[in-house]
Structure 1
Amino acid sequence: MKMRIHRSVIAGSMLLGCLLCLSPGHAQTTTGSLPASISIFKENIIHFSPDDSAKYDTDRVVCREGGRVITRTVELPPFTPPVRITAHVVLAPIPKDELEVYDRWDRAGNVRLEIPGGPDVELVKFITAYGGRTEYDVDLSPLAPLLRGRCVFKGFVDTWVSPAWKMDFSLTIAPDTQAVNPDWVMPVMYSESVTRDGIGDKGIEIPVDIPTGVHRVLLHYYVSGHCTDGADADEFVQKDNVIRVDNIVVHRYRPWRDDCRQFRPINPYCRRWTDGSWSCDYSRSGWCPGDIVAPLELDLTDHLTPGKHTLRFVIENIRPKDANGNYGYWRVSAQLLGWK
């Protein structure tokens, strides 16, 4: 099915600039002044083939991690803020024949920016539909200081088949006096598997240094809970996420989505259980099959004054590994945004 979904979310930004990015490259852009249109990925194949991850490489797009990550280095055009930057993402399953696709499952994925010496910055976080096509528009205006010059983009889908999905990813950049462009951003963390065995109850601790002159600080926290066997915790059981600054709890909440029923029409391979329920309808820890995962936005201005601080992220009671080797895990990333 080809129903389009358009959901907007403000992502993080940082003053680290694309001078940190590696390797030259060129994207297809409009000429002259803004607005500009940049095509970065166009029907590029994401797959899993550890013995031949490069079999779908092109002259501009290179596969990594067994084919599940595609990368491209592009040269983005110069601009003078304020600007509005909009990302357009299309995910389409690759058909096997008239009735089947190669990957009919819901898969975690994202588009992110590679930062040498630091964690990747998640631009768009999503879960694919059950073998269905999805399409998203995402406002990346707060990333304007970063999205210029040479940048390395990554497209990721956590698939285990080959071939699996095709991805489109493009940016439009246009002048806009209403766009939000922070002065400073710090990438805090990026992890695809936060587990009980990995961090236990202590959580993830990150030192941060707020620059002099920054008077307002926001945290963007992307999080989704999963399990290796598709049952129980941490996908279908609510768990507290606790955020501390300098060992003081500043926020406690349970990431949860209970509106997944609305996405059933774009989940063509979702199946009905004997009790009459549909897998794609179930409430989950911060996500729905076929939709983006929006960040928690938390104002930390009163806690993160200029100077050195410590952030700690704790996910309580993560399901430990059982006798069959199954366990709960979380995909998380975060950025700090600051204004002078």
Structure 2
Amino acid sequence: MSKPSDKIQQYIDLKNGYNISTIKDRNTVFKKIISFDSLPIPKKENDTRVILGYECQHVSFSYFSNRIDVWYTEKAAVKGTPNSNYLPNRNALVLQMVYNGNQTLTANAITKVKKYEPFITYDDKTVLVDKSEFEEILINSRYTKLHIFDNEKLNFNSKSIIPKEEDLISDKVYHFSNGSVVLKKIKITPELKNSNAVFAKLTCKSNGDAYDRTGSVFIIPEKKEREITTLLDAYLHGLDRLPIYTDSKANKYQGIIKEKGYSPAIELLRFFTPFGVNHFNDKRKINNYNWANEVVYKEDITSLVPTDEDEIWIGVFIGNYDAGGHIISLEFDAYPLMNNESNIKTKKYIVPLFSTVNTMEMSGQNYGGLFANDTLKVNFEIKEEVKNLQLLYTTTGHGGWGNGDEFVPRMNKLFVDGKEVFKIIPWRTDCATYRLFNPASGNFSDGLSSSDLSRSNWCPGTLTFPYIVPLNDLQKGNHVIEVVIDQGPNEGPSTNHWNVSGVLVGQLNN
């Protein structure tokens, strides 16, 4: 039997030879019934030991590569076990269990309770489910799912209507930049505020577009001051609302760095659509190629969600010029604090410094091609004492054919106050792993497919995670960060460019 406070109630029916487990989900109680015949089989061991005056027999179980040693007696009036999976037989009372030789559970007394009435949570209205269904209900009960977008289309639609700023409300989906961006303002719920971890889960499938495209999930924080400009202003009123960054050859880039009066978006996920998953599955059937139905991307975004805000804008972008485009769904999974964790949450420090991800590509925003002739430089100020200060640096290279930066390794370097703090050649060699995400990928005469080819830190159908750059030595005051990339020359009409984003994260001293 379980305690009344337990989420899962477990009962052993010795008479009928099965275990019963129940769980309540909303207003419905579900139960599963597991026959003793389907439980792990005990292996008899030769030693004995005395526990609470009883000479106990020893058996062991093997379960999911774990060894469980059990000592039990058949002489006690009461029968049972603290773990219903491990019952040597119907006449056994288990008095000690040892998990993998290092965790021991031992009975310290056997007490007779007068007029005991068992706590029963099931009746004739309880819904019987099988083991797999019960496991799904159990797992889903442990955390909170916040559904943000559900089967939204991201495509190129020149007739997409831009809403008026005064009409914007929370919990409504809006489409911007000719249909290639969806935005929604959500409330920061108590589950998000009090979570131990937050994950973003994105699903994506083709709705007609055959190509691998750059995608981004991002946050636009709510404005606290009217004079602050964000990407939302540009989505509503046009690119000319964004400040201009001019490189050494007078090329102009809209809204790519943090500066006075402007803050770029906080990038949560950098993802890449595969070549036509789902839509093209039936159009390119190949024996023994079992194409995926969709791609699921999931990443820990705990450090990037500003839980001190009341509301934030969540956006998803996929750059494409296809009328069918892609279908996406997005949820945040908030995992609660465990019982032994403190409820005292430190305030997060989240400051986006730069982003050349042109989420307004379909509205004419320039690609980040400045690195061929210039350095991306950002002046910023740290106004508070920050613990565990880090830069989350996400970088992917694009452009060209065989000699373009998509397919040529290029050095990335970061400098803070003139000192090199990070360098790497970002490169992915595992793209062939994801072949079954890419039914529309081109096949070459040498046997390779386009989706197999190694790339500058991305693959069709994958996430690109940020590099973590520790900056613990930075003190309060003014600083400058520089991004230097060995960008190659353009190849014909194809422009080399780099999508880079950088966000400072840490914890503020209380």
One-letter identity of the residue aligned with 2:200: A
Contact 1:35 / 1:174 at 8 angstroms: preserved in 2?
A: yes
Report Cα offsets for 1:14-43 as digits up to 9, x if no partner: xxxxxxxxxxxxxxxxxxxx9532211100
Distance 2:307 2:482 in 1: 25
Which runs of 5 or more structure 1 residues have no equivalent in the other structure? Answer: 1-33, 95-101
Q: Say which SS state the counterpart of residue 280 (structure 1) adopts.
A: helix
> Alpha carbons of 1:230 and 1:182: their partners in 2 closer, same or farther (altered >3 Å)?
farther
SS at match of 2:462: coil
In structure 2, the partner of 1:64 is 176
**Matches of 1:216 and 1:307 in 2, distance apart?**
16
- Compared with structure 1, are the counterparts of its residues 307 and 81 closer, same or farther at alpha carbon in structure 2 (3 Å cutoff)? farther
Aligned to 1:124: 269
Cα distance change of structure 1 residues 135 and 325 upon mapping to structure 2, 3 Å threshold: same
1:233 aligned to which of 370, 379, 404: 404
Question: Are 1:75 and 2:187 counterparts?
Answer: yes
- Name the larger-Rg structure: 2
Contact 2:154 2:180 in 1 (8 A): yes
Structure 2 counterpart of 1:300, from 436, 453, 471: 471
Q: In structure 2, do the counterparts of structure 1 residues 148 and 137 end up closer, same or farther at CA, with 3 Å as the change threshold? A: farther
Quote the Cα distance in structure 1 between the aligned partners of 2:157 and 2:321: 8
CA shift in 2, pair 1:85/1:169, >3 Å: same
Q: Which amino acid aligns with 1:45?
A: K
Matched, 1:92 2:198: no
**Residue 201 of structure 2 aligns to which amino acid in structure 1?**
H
Matches within 5 A, 1:175-254: 175-176=336-337, 183-192=348-357, 193-195=367-369, 198-227=370-399, 229-254=400-425
Q: Which residue of 1 aligns with 2:489?
A: 320
Distance in 1 of aligned mates of 2:409 and 2:403: 10
Which one scores higher on RCO, CA 8 angstroms, separation ≥ 6?
Answer: 1
Aligned residue-pair number: 291
Letter in 1 for 2:502: A
Deviation at 1:300, TM superposition (A): 1.6
Residues 53-78 of structure 1 show CA distances to partners (whole Å, capped at 9, x for unaligned) of 249xxx92221111111111222313
C-alpha deviations, 1:125-168, integer Å up to 9, x for none?
Answer: 10111111210221111134348521111111111101211110
**Structure 2 length-normalised TM:** 0.54
1:272 equivalent to 2:433? Answer no
Percent identity for Structure 1 against Structure 2: 26
1:109 aligned counterpart, secondary structure: strand
Is the CA contact (8 Å cut-off) linking 2:389 and 2:505 kept in structure 1? yes
Q: Which runs of 4+ in 1 moved over 6 A?
A: 178-182
Counterpart position of 1:25: none
Is the 1:182–1:337 Cα contact (8 Å) retained in structure 2? no
TM-score normalised by L of structure 1? 0.79
One-letter amino acid of the counterpart of residue 348, structure 2: D
CA contact (8 A) 1:73 1:152 kept: yes
Change (3 A) 1:181 1:319: farther
CA apart distance, 1:221? 0.4
- Equivalent residue for 2:301, pick from 137, 140, 146: 140
1:241 to partner: Cα distance: 0.6
For 2:443 and 2:310, locate their aligned partners in 1 and report how far apart those are by CA, in whole Å: 48
1:38-53 matches, within 5 Å, as 38-50=146-158, 52-53=159-160
2:322 pairs with 1:152: no
1:203 and 1:266 mapped to 2: Cα distance?
36
Q: In structure 2, how many angstroms separate the alpha carbons of the residues matched to 1:93 and 1:147?
A: 36
